[in-house]
Structure 1
Amino acid sequence: MNPAQYIEQTHLKPTINDRDIEKLIEEALNYNFVGVCVPPFWVKKVKRDLLKTETKVVTVIGFPLGYNRTETKVREAEVALKDGADELDLVISMTALKTNPFWAKVEMVRLADLAHQAEKMLKVIIETAYLSEEEIKKTALLCEEAGADFVKTSTGFATANFSEKKDFYAGAKLEDVKLIRSTVSEMVGIKASGGIKTYQQVQDFVKAGAERIGTSSGVEIMQEYLKNIEKKETIL
Structure 2
Amino acid sequence: MDRKEILSRVDHTLLAQDATWEQVKTICDQGLACQTASVCIPPRYVKRAADYVGNRLKICTVIGFPNGYSTPEVKVFETEDAIRNGADEIDMVMDIGLAKSGDWEGVLEEIKAVKASCKGRILKVIVEACQLTQEEKIAACRIVSMSGADFIKTSTGFAQGGATVEDVKLFREHISPDMRIKAAGGIRTFEQAQAMLDAGADRIGASALVALYQKNA
**What's the TM-score, normalizing by structure 2?**
0.94
For residues 24-46 of structure 1, give each alpha carbon's deviation from its aligned partner in whole angstroms, at most 9, with x where no partner exists: 11111211111100011011111
**CA distance in 2: counterparts of 1:218 and 1:35, whole angstroms:** 13
Q: Is 2:100–2:132's contact at 8 Å kept on the other side of the alignment?
A: no
- Given the alignment of the two structures, is residue 18 of structure 1 paired with residue 21 of structure 2, yes or no? yes
- Paired residues of 1:86 and 1:120 also in contact (CA < 8 A): yes
Partners of 2:63 and 2:55 lie apart in 1 by 25
Indicate the residue corresponding to 1:133 in structure 2: 134
Identity, in percent, stands at: 37
Gaps of 5+ in 1: 160-169, 228-236
Verify the 8 A CA contact 1:60 1:90 in the aligned structure 2.
yes
CA distance in 2, matches of 1:201, 1:221: 13
Q: Say if 2:161 is the partner of 1:202.
A: no
Residue-by-residue CA offset, 1:36-90 (whole Å, 9 max, x unaligned): 000110111111122131x211000000000011111110101001101111100
- 1:125 and 1:221 mapped to 2: Cα distance? 25
TM-score, normalising length: structure 1 = 0.87
In the alignment, which of 147, 171, 183 is matched to residue 192 of structure 1?
183
- Residue aligning to 1:218: 209
Larger radius of gyration: 1
Name which of 10, 31, 40 aligns with 1:7.
10
- The amino acid across from 2:164 in the alignment is K
Q: Separation in 2 of the partners of 1:197 and 1:130?
A: 21
Q: In 1, distance between residues paired with 2:72 and 2:60?
A: 20
Q: Is the 8 A contact 1:9 1:24 kept in 2?
A: yes
Would you identify which runs of 4 or more consecutive aligned residues in structure 1 move more than 3 Å?
none
SS in 1 for 2:67: coil
Q: Could you tell me how far apart the structure 2 residues matched to 1:130 and 1:203 are?
A: 24
Rounded to whole Å, the distance in 2 between the matches of 1:68 and 1:119 is 22
User: Structure 2 matches for 1:17-36, cutoff 5 A?
Assistant: 17-36=20-39
Matches of 2:13 and 2:52 in 1, distance apart?
A: 16
Q: CA deviation at 1:221?
A: 4.1
User: Over residues 178-208 of structure 1, what are the superposed CA-to-partner deviations in whole Å (9 max), with x where a residue is unaligned?
Assistant: 0000111221000000000111111111010
Which residue in 2 is equivalent to 1:123?
A: 124
- Cα drift, residue 220 of structure 1: 3.2
State the distance in 1 between where 2:212 and 2:109 align.
38
Partners of 1:87 and 1:177 lie apart in 2 by 21
| Mapped partners of 1:36, 1:112: distance in 2 | 20
CA RMSD across the alignment: 1.3
Deviations 1:70-121 (A, max 9, x none): 1111101010011011111000011111221111111001011221xx2201
CA distance in structure 2 between the partners assigned to 1:221 and 1:91 by the alignment: 28
How much does 1:12 deviate?
A: 0.2
Residue 174 of structure 2 corresponds to residue 179 of structure 1: no
Aligned position for 1:74:
76
